[in-house]
Amino acid sequence: MHDEKKQLRKLLRSQRRALSPIEVTAKSRLIAERLRAFAPFQQASALVLYSADENEVQTELIWQDTIAQGKAVYYPRITADRADLEFVRRSPGDRLIPGTFGILIPPGEELLAALHETDIVLTPGVGFDRQGHRLGRGKGYYDRAFRGVLSGALRVALAHTFQVVSHIPATAHDERVQYILTEAELIDCPSADCQ
């Protein structure tokens, strides 16, 4: 299974890197519009975002929408020991600064303590399947966070259409998302007890 994941990760990252900046911006804008119309997004009081890297779906428009609505917004930051993620609040006016691996993070120190079931985690990933299985970068950061500080919140993946594949190999430790938003559709993933 490890080799299968590694090959799929390599293929999907290569496809994502091949996107032009214009394509990424256009697709990201469509996804942001789809998110804006998503009822759980409208009702959420807090949101976890991420800084786009390697042609991931861009999140700056989402940040602007979220702040305009007065919601609290947190971004992932790798802990000093590089063992886990912690989530730092981004306040209006905060400019993101380079963090570990050059990924942009808020400059503040206000950390997320817990989320509610009405809050949303906008989740990056390399690939997803329609059952909600997620292929990350292979370090398990989000899987651990979903079992910890992010537990209970709604998990919504942001992805380009080609990142949704027929099957993602998964183990019992791999956490799933409940929705996938692409430029073409909103995918409502079946719950684990439906499998």
- Asked if the structure places residue 68 within a domain, the reply is yes
This prediction has a pTM of 0.93
Residue 195 lies in a domain: no
Domain extent, residue 18, equals 2-190
Domain count, the chain: 1
pLDDT at 171: 87
Is 74 inside any structural domain? Answer: yes
Q: Report yes or no on 137 lying in a domain.
A: yes
Which residues are CB-neighbours of 164 under 8 A, at least 6 positions away?
A: 127, 128, 129, 130, 180, 182, 187
Instruction: Say how far apart CA 186 and CA 7 lie, in whole Å.
Output: 26
Domain-located, residue 133: yes
Q: CA 35 → CA 15, 18, 167, distances in Å?
A: 24, 25, 24
Residue 165: give its domain's CATH number. 3.40.50.10420
Over its length of 195 residues, how does the chain's per-residue pLDDT go in tens digits? 678 889 999 999 999 999 999 999 999 999 999 999 999 999 999 999 999 999 999 999 999 999 999 999 999 999 989 889 999 999 999 999 999 888 999 999 999 999 999 999 999 999 999 999 999 988 889 999 999 999 999 999 999 999 999 999 988 888 999 999 999 999 999 865 433
Task: Answer yes or no: is 32 within a domain.
Answer: yes
